[in-house]
């Protein structure tokens, strides 16, 4: 994984995070005479590193600007870039001020079609409250642009008191505004001790985002017993094509261990 770049605040572009893609694969083959021969091959169709120009728009209302540290993660259909701190604005010395546009450049392995971002601040400094209008991202490699509307506070004191927002790209957001009822079937295994007394949760992931962590529960019923099938109906905004599910429990109760045979959605 060649790099040949600085990871330093005072060098290069000031980034301390680099995503690296492989260029060569080295394998060793044991010959008949007992010696090892090293074989070098170039990686076929390696992922490209793309440059993303990120424009963050702070709202033009009283107290909209923030002094807190802001962090961003971008999600595409090929993966996410991991959370990055938006450190140095290319357009303003004091970033995230009222009515201001701040621009940042981030390099990451090709994320594909962008569909959501997670943006947050750490609630630090004297004035952490922030009214975020929107985020625009330009993939400079493909020249595709994506818009993520917010128009909400990220604040411990205002609105719903959240300092993190998940924002969907406008095309995906329009699709995801339609609520969908997902029939979720969980089958517990038939082996001895397969059932659980713990509280069970599921997260469903699709192209348009995820459902968030949802409790699987019903009134007046013993759930997730050995050899039993339990059915739930979850009303969630349309997530498009489903990619994966996460099933988990909180390890509570006298017998929390659980053998899951399968999940159907």
Half-sphere CA count of 91, side-chain side, radius 13 A: 15
Secondary-structure class of domain 47-174 per CATH: mainly beta
User: Which strands make up the sheet holding 49-58, listed edge to edge?
Assistant: 101-109, 49-58, 130-139, 144-154
Report which of 123, 132, 119 is spatially closest to residue 156, judged by C-alpha positions: 123
Q: Which fold has domain 179-264?
A: Lipoxygenase-1 (2.60.60)
Q: Encode pLDDT of 91-138 as tens digits.
A: 999 999 999 999 999 998 889 889 899 999 999 999 999 999 999 999
Rg (CA), the chain: 24
Q: Encode pLDDT of 212-253 as tens digits.
A: 888 898 876 789 999 999 999 988 878 778 889 999 999 998
More confident residue, 25 or 200: 200
Give dist(CA 12, CA 9) in Å, integer: 8
Q: What is the model's pLDDT at position 178? A: 61
Q: Check whether 262 has a pLDDT greater than 80.
A: yes
Q: What is the model's pLDDT at position 118? A: 95
Domain residue spans in the chain?
47-174, 179-264
Same fold for the domain at 47-174 and the one at 179-264?
yes
Q: Encode pLDDT of 146-168 as tens digits.
A: 999 999 999 999 888 999 999 98
Q: Check whether 207 has a pLDDT greater than 90.
A: no
**Mean pLDDT of the chain, nearest integer:** 88
**pTM of the predicted protein model:** 0.59
């Amino acid at each position: 994984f060649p790099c040949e770049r600085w990871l330093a605040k005072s060098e290069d572009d000031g980034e301390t995070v680099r995503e690296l893609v492989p260029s060569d694969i080295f394998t060793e083959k044991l010959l008949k005479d007992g010696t090892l021969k090293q074989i070098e091959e170039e990686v076929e169709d390696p992922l490209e590193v793309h440059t993303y120009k990120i424009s963050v728009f702070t709202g033009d209302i009283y107290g909209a600007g923030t002094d807190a540290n802001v962090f961003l993660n971008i999600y595409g259909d090929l993966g996410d870039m991991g959370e990055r701190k938006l450190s140095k604005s290319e357009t303003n010395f004091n970033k995230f001020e009222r009515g201001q546009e701040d621009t940042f450049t981030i390099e990451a392995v090709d994320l594909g079609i962008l569909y959501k971002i997670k943006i947050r601040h750490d609630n630090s400094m004297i004035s952490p409250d922030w009214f975020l209008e929107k985020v625009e991202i330009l993939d400079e490699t493909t020249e595709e642009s994506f818009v993520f509307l917010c128009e909400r506070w990220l604040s411990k004191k205002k609105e719903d008191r959240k300092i993190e927002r998940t924002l969907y790209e406008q095309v995906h957001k329009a699709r995801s505004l339609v609520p969908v009822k997902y029939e979720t079937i969980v089958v517990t295994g038939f082996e001895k001790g397969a059932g659980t007394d713990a509280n069970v949760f599921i997260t469903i992931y699709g192209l348009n985002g995820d459902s968030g962590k949802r409790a699987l529960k019903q009134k007046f019923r013993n759930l997730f017993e050995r050899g039993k099938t339990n059915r739930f109906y979850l009303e969630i905004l349309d997530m498009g094509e489903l990619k994966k599910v996460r099933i988990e429990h909180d390890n509570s109760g006298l017998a929390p261990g659980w053998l899951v045979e399968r999940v159907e959605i």
